[in-house]
Amino acid sequence: MVNEIIGRKVGMTQIFSEEDGSVTPVTAIEAGPCTVVQVKTIESDGYQAVQLGFGHKKRHNKPAQGHLKGTGSFSVLREVRVDDASQYEVGQTFDVSIFEEGSKVDVTGRSRGMGFAGGVKRYHFGGGPKTHGQSDRHRAPGSVGAGTTPGRVFKGLRMAGHMGDERKTTLNLRVVKVEPERNLIMVRGAVPGISTGLVVVRQAVKGGKKA
């Protein structure tokens, strides 16, 4: 059985407990169904994995049509490593029923893109002095290095630049509710990315399966 599935972030909501009325913030994810498009083996590819297809796309070019022939028309393809590829076959489907309520999952997505940002917004710099004639240094980053030695700016220095739009993973989120008939899984807390953003939900790799 594969341990991860492709989905889209629907948004955040809250669930009320029937026992004590407590509120749990959850993120709703529309995960699956995912179809096995290709099975990769050690003999043919040097490693074992299955390629999953998710979503729908109206048109594909000729190579993609040949690759997806007989399986469907998917907008997203992702590979999932498996221990024994012989257990899977093309056309096999998986949905949110691979997860159990109370178990823990890791959710991977791309963070919201913020465009070009300065040091104050990107790295929470304090900015320069606000008085004593410093009229244009309120949001400046300050010194970026010495002069003669080393005579250059080190790589990785925190400066202005592109903020967000990075691959992020949130670990050990508890599965609050699973609805296979609606292809929905509710996980406690927030997950990376914007609403409708693509995410990958997998069984937690550390921290145990049960919350």
Query: Is position 16 within any domain?
Result: yes
**Quick check: 211 pLDDT over 50?**
no
Q: Could you give the number of structural domains in the chain?
A: 2
Query: Is position 185 within any domain?
Result: yes
pTM for this entry: 0.83
10 and 106 together in one domain: yes
What pLDDT was estimated at residue 176?
A: 94
Give the chain's mean pLDDT: 91
Calculate mean pLDDT across residues 109-117: 95
What pLDDT was estimated at residue 21?
A: 86
> Cα dist. 43→11, 39, 68, 88 in Å?
42, 11, 22, 15
72 pLDDT tier (thresholds 50, 70, 90):
confident
> Cα dist. 138→96, 133, 135, 159 in Å?
50, 11, 7, 15
4 and 38 together in one domain: no
21 and 60 together in one domain: no
76 and 23 together in one domain: no
Q: Residue 2 belongs to what domain range? A: 1-31+99-125+159-211
* Phi, psi angle pair for 96, to nearest 5°: -70, -5
pLDDT digit string, tens, across residues 22-53: 999 999 999 989 999 999 999 999 999 999 99
pLDDT digit string, tens, across residues 124-173: 999 998 889 888 889 999 889 888 988 999 999 999 999 999 999 999 99
